[in-house]
Structure 1
Amino acid sequence: MPTLASKATAGVISPAAALRRRHGRRMAAWITGSSLVVSLLALLPLGFVIYIAFVSGWDIIVQLVFRPRVAELLVNTLLLVLISLPLCIVLSVALAWLTERSDLPGRRAWSLLATAPIAVPAFVHSYAWVSLVPSLHGLPGAVLVSVLAYFPFLYLPVAATLRRLDPAIEDVGQSLGLKPVAVFFRVVLPQLRLALCGGSLLIGLHLLAEYGLFAMIRYDTFTTAIFDQFQSSFNGPAANMLAGVLALLCLALLTLEAGARGKARYARVGSGSARQPQIQRLSRVAALICLTLPLSVTLLALGVPLLTLTRWLIAGGSEVWQQEGLLDAVRQTLVLASTGAILITAAAFPVAWLSIRSPGRFNRLLESCNYITSSLPGIVVALALVTVTIKVARPIYQTAITVLLAYLLMFLPRALVSLRAGIAQAPVELENIARSLGRSPAQALWYVTLRLAAPGAAAGAALVFLAITNELTATLLLAPSGTRTLATGFWAMTSEIDYAAAAPYALIMVLLSLPLTALLYHQSRRTAGR
């Protein structure tokens, strides 16, 4: 029987426990406040588009938007997307089937080579083709280079999905009398819908946001027009209106992708484990014919850039490695990329922590703000920061702070996705045990959760680092005078038609991007259980 003293103290909390509770509430308040600040900052570009439309008024909108030049840019952009995306889909599905579902000779090597073009920045692809074929320009050139530069973003999810598909559903189709071709189109292809929609969205957003590739190939899109308008005459209203139309196109693409995904179920339900997919045996003649596809893609997507870089490096000799701005560009790129990776990963942590530890409706809304904003082109983000800093925060206009803020708005989701996975693998029960042993909530978070989430944080930081290394448009518009990164240094050299001097910049960017390619490839295979 409990004594009277024990009954009297049963509901009393010890001072240490009360202190830990206060610290816990204070830490939760700090994390929520930080997440709110980061998410509100993420809404800045979208708010800028709405604000510009509001203050300009309908008359100005009609004057600047409804004119022949905008119609021409709209047609150019839509043609580019409508032609490039189907070609990427067909190419990616064909390559994925050959490397995952057939006994194509060397299929593992071809799978890696199909991913490798990601290591070459899109504007380096364009540089390689323009210097090799100077007459290549306009829509055909833009489509060719776009497909070769961006198809791996579709190939990776499609190949991973083909690895995971349970062949039992294909067996059902065959048992109903369907031929192999009919099984593929009526059974397998519908199961690829999520991968195709996600990859197509990513490629579409890249096509809308890309500047360097299309400027070099001399094909006008909204992004090239906005940049030229801003650089030539600093015409704020015209550039801002074009940015608004471009933002609407991106949001329309997001809406179309959400609708195309549908609500069908793609998970396997049933007893037992899924079997490995059946490998299609190719005859010797069929194998030789099929080999022409991955071989041709590899030669065009990797051979041309490597051949061009080698050609210009040999032509330039040792002098191109001794040019004055190269080492400074490497140093400034590493400083910006390292600083940005650390800051962005730290800023993503409170959002990631709330999404895992407290997945309520409000916290999901805060998280989604960052994904929506990251879908906007870098030039829209840059114009928003130019306008805001000039009107509200002039002391940070054209400073490293503004550049890092742009990187934060553009690349935070890359760190957020990896951090979420890392925190999800750190059970909250371990934090509770640490607290019960006398650790404060902050100490439990530091010594337990952060240590377990460190691999995810490192992967996210690496993705951000490499994204900053290859970023061009926002850096060109926002960087302080005298700033030269590898991307802007490369662009300066190619603008002067000094392709030999540009080659070292391009090669270093490719070498820095190779770890990202390896990470994406191995992550894709690990996700699919291979």
Structure 2
Amino acid sequence: MTIRGLVARTVGRATGDDSGATDIGLTLLAAAIAAVLVLPLLWLAVDAVGLGDQALELAVAPQTLEVLVRSVALVAIVTGASVLVGVPLAVITVQGSIPFPRFWTVLAALPLAVPSYLGAFAFVSAFRPQGEFADLLAPLGIESIPSVYGFAGAAFVLTLYTYPYVFLTTRASLLSLDGSLVEAARTLNTGRWTAFRRVTLPQILPGITAGALLVALYAFADFGTPNIMRVEVFTQFIYARYNAFARDYAALLSLQLLTVTAIVLALESRIGVDESGAYESSGHRGSADLELGRWRYVVLLLPTVIALLAIVLPIALFATWLMGGGPGYQGGGLTFSWEYGFNSAYVAVLAAGVSILVALPIALTSATSDSRLAELADRAPYIGYATPGIVLAIALLSFSLDVLPAVYKTVPLLVFAYVVRFMPQAIGSIKTSTLQVDQELVEASRTLGRSRLGTFRKVTLPLILPGVAAGAALVFLTTMKELPATLMLRPLGFETLVTYIWEIEEAGLYGRAAVPALVLVAISGLSMAVMLAQDGR
């Protein structure tokens, strides 16, 4: 037992408080909450079993394998392209001799401020036949432009809006890098590229891998972007089968997608397993040792072009629609109502509040206990975070129909889905804040006779409140943007910003997306600001 543990036990005996029993109770509560969150996913197996011997035949059917291979190929290309874009941008903004590095850092991260399905929406509108770009080029004698639809278009749009994950995680690793190691390699007559490959790259590889994992999970789970770009991927395939009343088949396909996701996670753990020293520095950090000279203006073309395509294009397009220039803006039907915005905010507030309530015991247990049960309770909720929204929605629909029909397609079920999907964001934020609390303050409060609950309320909670608020903000903001779970689980007649955008996209009334699209972009910008604040801390 450590000295701290011995002191804590002695204090507990002196005050007559059974800390051990309290710790066990909190751990069991955290484990029970984690189990409830992942239990509905098991119902997919119950549905799939109903297929009997037909399950294997459907799982390896040519059409199923074709869509699966297409999905894997799309994810592989998007992930690889995101690494090729994100890593150089991270190196340039951290180590490059460029003017205003903070400005270029924010600019490179800005594509996260636009949900990818909104980006796809904008690109399809701009580059479709008789679209905005076609109209601009017509006076120049250019009668047609290449189609943006298809596999290549989907890969391009997804890369444009997901590479910042790699950029941010790689940048964090570079900021933690001990610059003296690189300088030592250079003094041994090692070239710049060789020093990067042998010294820098191994140190930042876990950061690159972490970002690539986020990109891969996002690309696997994305539903809106491939649909808008007219590329059938596994999420759409599952959605179509469920709507065709083939619930058991959709469950089987969902299990296949979960299996692929698990393989991706396993590969990431193998690549990024050795993180010793990857995020720690014993010397000066991230020195600007990359002298670019006149090339600085050339390399800055990369973030500039990306920002024009990913940020300026959609926002300018939405602003044009807002002024009444979009197709269908003046037409009848599907009129926008601010009630949709209220509905989005309503369920997002509920999701954020519930997420904090269930995340607190899990995060506190994980931060203060070394038991295997506490570790399991901390890890289990991330299953829901890694589960595609379409898969989670099908699992919850099946579970509610068979077990709790009273909650089928109700607000409580929708909020529960949001909690399963995004509550790990709150866990991470609260856990980080809890680990930063000075335990001597807690122990001092206990020696003064205050109970564990009183100590938490008067000492711990005020100190971790910023982390609690940040976690709630992240859950709220990501809930506002969630498309597939909202589309499938919302009550009948319950419209939100994302479901309204989905309906008008299918109807081709692009102009009516102006207000909700700009609102979602603003919300996404706030979510990115919270992420950057967390990164800075």
TM-score (norm 1): 0.90
- 1:220-231 aligned within 5 A: 220-231=232-243
C-alpha distance in structure 1 between counterparts of 2:320 and 2:357, whole Å:
42
Q: 1:264 to 1:409 in 2, by over 3 A?
A: closer
Question: 1:289-308 maps to which residues of 2 (within 5 A)?
Answer: 289-308=298-317
**Residue of structure 1 aligned with 2:479, choices 465, 468, 477:** 468
Shift of 1:195: 0.8
RMSD in angstroms over aligned alpha carbons?
2.4
1:47 equivalenced with 2:42 (yes/no) = yes
1:374 aligns with 2:368: no
Identity among equivalent pairs (%): 30
* Residue in 2 that maps onto 1:253: 264
CA contact under 8 A between 1:316 and 1:501: conserved in structure 2? no
Partner SS for 2:308 = helix
Quote the residue 1:104 is aligned against.
98
Query: For the structure 1 residues 301 and 388, does the alpha-carbon distance in structure 2 shift closer, same or farther, using more than 3 Å as the test?
Result: same
What's the CA shift string for 1:3-35, capped at 9, x where partnerless?
A: xxxxxxxxxx999944x44xx567545533431
2:323 counterpart SS class? helix
Match of 2:211 in 1: 199
The 5-angstrom pairing of residues 212-227 of structure 1 reads 212-227=224-239
Of 189, 193, 198, 1:186 maps to 198
Matched, 1:483 2:494: yes
Distance 2:256 2:423 in 1: 24
- In the TM superposition, 1:1-80 aligns within 5 A as 17-18=15-16, 20-21=17-18, 27-28=22-23, 30-57=25-52, 59-80=53-74
Q: Residue in 2 aligned with 1:147?
A: 159
Cα displacement (A) at 1:52: 3.6
Whether 1:274 aligns to 2:268 is no
Question: Is 1:94 aligned to 2:88, yes or no?
Answer: yes
3-state DSSP class of the match of 2:337? helix
Please point out which of 118, 123, 127 is paired with 1:129: 123
**Structure 2 unaligned regions, length at least 5:** 1-10, 129-146
Asked whether the 8 Å contact 2:41–2:396 carries over to 1, the reply is no
Contact 1:91 1:151 in 2 (8 A): yes
Query: In structure 2, what is the Cα distance between the partners aligned to 1:83 and 1:290?
Result: 23
Q: Distance in 2 between matches of 1:256 and 1:75?
A: 18
Report deviation, 1:334.
Answer: 1.0
8 Å CA contact 1:174, 1:183 repeated in 2: yes
Q: Could you report, residue by residue, the CA deviation over 1:163-191 in whole angstroms, capped at 9, with x for unpaired residues? A: 22112221232233221122222222222
**Cα gap change, 1:402 to 1:103, in 2 (>3 Å):** same
Query: In structure 2, how many angstroms separate the alpha carbons of the residues matched to 1:305 and 1:311?
Result: 10
Name the structure 2 match of 1:497: 508
Return 352-361 or 150-159, whichever deviates more: 352-361
Amino acid at match of 2:405: R
Q: Secondary structure at the match of 1:293?
A: helix
Describe the SS at the equivalent of 1:192: helix
Give the aligned length.
506
Cα deviation, residue 476, structure 1: 0.8
Question: Which shifted more, 29-38 or 307-316?
Answer: 29-38
- Alpha-carbon deviations, 1:210-236, whole Å to 9, x = none? 0011100011111011112222x2210
Q: Structure 1 CA distance, aligned partners of 2:228 and 2:166?
A: 24
Structure-2 change in CA distance of 1:267 and 1:255 (3 Å): closer
Local SS of the residue matching 1:301:
helix
Closer/same/farther in 2, CA of residues 142 and 15 from structure 1, 3 Å limit: closer
Q: Which amino acid aligns with 2:108?
A: A
Aligned-partner residue type, residue 252 of structure 1: I
Cα pair 2:94 2:286 within 8 Å, conserved: no
Tell me how far 1:274 sits from its aligned partner. 2.5
Task: Tell me by how many angstroms 1:275 deviates.
Answer: 5.4
Shift of 1:273: 3.7
1:176 to 181, 188, 191: 188
CA distance in 2, matches of 1:314, 1:392: 49
TM superposition shift of 1:435:
3.8
Q: Is the aligned partner of 1:459 residue 2:454?
A: no
The 10-residue stretch of structure 1 (441-450 or 417-426) with the greater mean CA deviation from structure 2: 441-450
1:510 to 521, 526, 531: 521
Quote the residue 1:156 is aligned against: 168
2:296 counterpart of 1:287: yes
Asked if residue 120 in structure 1 is aligned to residue 114 in structure 2, the reply is: yes
Matched, 1:210 2:222: yes
Larger deviation: 303-312 or 261-270? 261-270
Please tell me whether residue 165 in structure 1 is matched to residue 216 in structure 2. Answer: no
Deviates more, 1:384-393 or 1:174-183: 174-183
Judged with a 3 Å threshold, the aligned counterparts in structure 2 of structure 1 residues 423 and 264 are, in CA distance, closer, same or farther, namely closer
Aligned counterparts of 2:437 and 2:101: Cα–Cα separation in 1:
37
> How much does 1:45 deviate?
4.6
Q: Secondary structure at the match of 1:382?
A: helix
**3-state SS in 1 of match to 2:300:** helix
Measured in 1, the distance between the counterparts of 2:453 and 2:534 equals 31
Structure 1's 276 and 240: CA in aligned 2 closer, same or farther, altered over 3 A? closer
Q: Matches of 2:464 and 2:155 in 1, distance apart?
A: 41
How far apart, in 1, do the equivalents of 2:280 and 2:228 lie?
50
Distance 1:281 1:29, change over 3 A: closer
**Whole-angstrom CA distance in 1 between matches of 2:283 and 2:316:** 47
8 Å contact 1:355–1:363 — kept in the other structure?
yes
What is the Cα deviation at residue 83 of structure 1?
Answer: 1.2
Residues 204 and 278, structure 2, Cα contact 8 Å, conserved in 1: no
Assess, with a 3 A threshold, how the Cα gap between structure 1 residues 507 and 436 changes in structure 2: closer, same or farther.
same
Tell me, yes or no, if the aligned pair for 2:48 and 2:248 is still in contact at 8 Å. no
The secondary structure found in structure 1 opposite 2:289 is coil
TM-score when scaled to structure 2? 0.89
Contact 1:166 1:268 in 2 (8 A): no
